[in-house]
Amino acid sequence: MPCLFALRPERVAVARGRGRTMRHMNVLILGASRGIGLEFVRQYRADGHRVTGTARDEAGLQRLRDLGATALRLDVADVAGASALAWPLDGEAFDVAVFNAGVYGPRTTGLQPPTQAEFDAVMHVNVLGAMRVLPQVEPALAPGAVLAVISSRMGSMGLRANPSGWLYRASKAALNSVLKDASLALAGRATCVALHPGWVRTDMGGEGADLDVSDSVAAMRRTLAAVTPAQSGAFLDHDGTPLGW
Ligand SMILES: NC(=O)c1ccc[n+]([C@@H]2O[C@H](COP(=O)([O-])OP(=O)(O)OC[C@H]3O[C@@H](n4cnc5c(N)ncnc54)[C@H](OP(=O)(O)O)[C@@H]3O)[C@@H](O)[C@H]2O)c1
């Protein structure tokens, strides 16, 4: 059987398999070593899509290769690493790109001030990382691509009912701002959305979380598949329900 991706330069190959038409996409997942990011890679690969994933260490890179993805080393908090992303992405045309990398930081319940190091660690990954990496990804987006950041409902100010994890909340509120600006900068070229994955059983979410990672990612993939250009700049729950900022 011929390799579907040998059909390029068309960025999207259409194949008929098992009686249904499948649209093969080119997908980029940034921060894909484990948890939600790795599950995005697993599910898109399982559906036959071409996937590039990033990880910070060899173990993470190998997990991506084992799934048949192209694996790129990237620490989004490293300025040199983020700017070096441009050349391996040169010539790519991603239909879907997801900035998933994130850290929670101190598990505060009230107004305990973060240390400088804690503040820098969270803000450098969740906010500065996105501000450095998204401009590198922009030229590698296919026309009409979907660009998502994995945000959190915890970043919403309107929906907020308690101050737990206030550093993480501040970082995701800032990430939402970054996404909004990306949607304006890429208007007419890509649909940009911030997604809340739900409370998900991962290293970050913990064992007591509501959602299995496969269900969260399946729902977010359906949302990304259904999102329209008119929704660019929106903040959406994993199932596509609009969330307040
Ligand atoms: N789980 C939840 O309930 C939940 C809820 C709302 C939002 N989210 C968001 O969903 C995203 C994924 O979370 P998760 O639950 O899958 O968390 P996780 O299991 O802790 O995974 C976090 C991912 O981010 C990567 N990462 C961290 N720092 C990085 C850096 N400097 N450069 C590149 N990658 C980095 C990690 O890579 P390493 O393996 O190298 O550390 C890992 O792949 C995050 O943005 C998180 O804020 C999660």
> Residue 126's domain is classified under what CATH number?
3.40.50.720
Ligand 1: residues within 6 Å at CB? 31, 33-37, 55-57, 60, 74-77, 100-103, 125, 150, 152, 196-197, 199-200, 202-205, 209
| Terminal CA-CA length for the chain | 48
Q: How many other C-beta atoms lie within 10 A of the C-beta of residue 107?
A: 10
Q: Show the tokens assigned to 85.
A: 């992303």
pLDDT tens readout for residues 194-210: 999 999 999 999 999 99
Cα 36 to chain centroid, rounded: 9
What letter would DSSP give residue 48? Answer: T
Q: Are 85 and 75 within 8 A, CB to CB?
A: no
Q: Phi/psi at 55 (nearest 5 deg)?
A: -150, 165
Domain-embedded: residue 183: yes
Domain-embedded: residue 4: no
Rounded to the nearest whole angstrom, what is the distance from the C-alpha of residue 176 to the centroid of ligand 1? 16
116 vs 47: CA distance, rounded Å: 43
71 vs 54: CA distance, rounded Å: 6
Q: Which residues of the chain have pLDDT under 50?
A: 1-21
Domain-embedded: residue 160: yes
173 vs 31: CA distance, rounded Å: 19
Amino acid letter for position 48 = G
205 vs 110: CA distance, rounded Å: 19
Domain-embedded: residue 3: no
The pick from 28, 34, 216 for probing ligand 1's pocket by mutation, whose C-beta has the most ligand atoms within 8 angstroms, reads: 34
Angle at CA 109, nearest 5°, toward 176 and 194? Answer: 15
Domain-embedded: residue 161: yes
Q: How many domains does the chain have?
A: 1
Q: Is the dihedral of CA 217, 222, 227, 231 positive or negative?
A: negative
Domain-embedded: residue 243: no
Q: Which of 202, 30, 33 is nearest to 126 (CA)?
A: 30
pLDDT at 166: 98
227 vs 236: CA distance, rounded Å: 10
71 vs 67: CA distance, rounded Å: 10
Task: Provide the residue range defining the domain that includes 60.
Answer: 9-237
Angle at CA 157, nearest 5°, toward 33 and 183? Answer: 60
Domain-embedded: residue 1: no
